[in-house]
């Protein structure tokens, strides 16, 4: 696996003011076909993942515990790194330029905050297809939290099989989640929300959190606009549909 860290380099396309990469240099289509045969390098098994190349400061007994699936431009991933400095979080993104942006963004944040309390050494991003290769990266019961924020709704009925929450994949998510682990879902498409709730509640290894439990979670307020997609929904005065599920 190739190391994504670029702390010693100047990030291409970085702003002269902030030192952070600018999205206009990383534009890409909003959607990607997850069933297509993209070219990916992926490990044969979780033991083959070189996590230390992604987290140079990780301890010998540390494991990645948070996974932001389809992390987009990394806004929520950065928030996770700030909220949980002792936890390792990985962003998984299928689009080339978008994952490049997140990797460069993290490198720039590490460089900029090297002497600060929050150094962003606990977050990283890889380009991969989580719908195909998730068990290649994570061991059984490894993850504490998984996030599916504003996933592609794939509106056409023929493409519903491409939705990242579907009955065929839920058992894989249950496999990599520890007992009591949480799956966070957020969308601005009510039809997709209904689909997610229906499939998750039908699965024997997941139960939905009550509204009271969801609202008490300190992560919940961050789900609405920490990500770039969430912030866009807020700007456009759109609706948010939240559902959180527990691995049982």
Q: How many whole angstroms separate alpha carbon 28 and alpha carbon 32?
A: 10
Which residues are annotated as part of the binding site for S-adenosyl-L-methionine?
A: 70, 93-94, 129-130, 149, 227-229
DSSP-assigned states of every residue in 33-75: -TTS-------SSGGG--HHHH-TT--TT--EEEEEET-TTSH
* Nearby residues of 48 by Cβ (< 8 Å), 6 or more positions away: 1
Which residues are annotated as part of the binding site?
A: 70, 93-94, 129-130, 149, 227-229
DSSP-assigned states of every residue in 84-108: -TTSEEEEEE--HHHHHHHHHHHHH
In sequence order, what are the beta bridge partners of 187?
A: 241
Q: How many whole angstroms separate alpha carbon 121 and alpha carbon 99?
A: 17
Q: Which of 100, 104, 152, 188 is catalytic?
A: 152
Three-state SS letters, 104-128: HHHHHHHHHCCCCCCCCCCEEEEEC
Among this protein's residues, is 191 annotated catalytic? no
Instruction: Tell me the two tokens of residue 98.
Output: 């978008």
Q: How many whole angstroms separate alpha carbon 191 and alpha carbon 52?
A: 40
Instruction: Tell me the two tokens of residue 11.
Output: 């990030």
Catalytic residue set: 152
């Amino acid at each position: 696996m190739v190391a994504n860290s670029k702390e010693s380099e100047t990030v291409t396309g970085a702003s002269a003011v902030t030192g952070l990469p600018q999205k206009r240099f990383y534009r890409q289509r909003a959607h990607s076909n997850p069933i297509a045969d993209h070219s990916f390098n992926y490990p044969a098994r979780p033991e083959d993942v070189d996590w230390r190349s992604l987290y140079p400061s990780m301890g010998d007994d540390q494991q990645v515990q948070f996974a932001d699936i389809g992390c987009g431009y990394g806004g929520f991933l950065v928030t996770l790194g700030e909220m949980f400095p002792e936890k390792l979080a990985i962003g998984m993104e299928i689009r080339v330029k978008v994952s490049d942006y997140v990797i460069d963004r993290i490198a720039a944040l590490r460089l900029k905050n090297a002497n600060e309390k929050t150094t962003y050494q606990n977050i990283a991003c890889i380009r991969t297809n989580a719908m195909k290769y998730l068990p290649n990266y994570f061991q059984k019961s490894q993850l504490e939290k998984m996030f599916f924020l504003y996933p592609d709704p794939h509106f056409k009925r023929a493409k519903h099989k491409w939705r990242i929450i579907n009955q065929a994949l839920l058992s894989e998510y249950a496999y990599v989640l520890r007992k009591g682990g949480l799956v966070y879902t957020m969308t601005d498409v009510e039809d997709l929300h209904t689909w997610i709730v229906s499939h998750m509640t039908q699965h024997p290894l997941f139960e939905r959190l009550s509204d009271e439990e969801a609202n008490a979670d300190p992560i919940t307020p961050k789900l609405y606009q920490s990500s770039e997609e969430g912030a866009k929904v807020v700007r456009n005065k759109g609706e948010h549909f939240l559902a959180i599920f527990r691995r049982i």
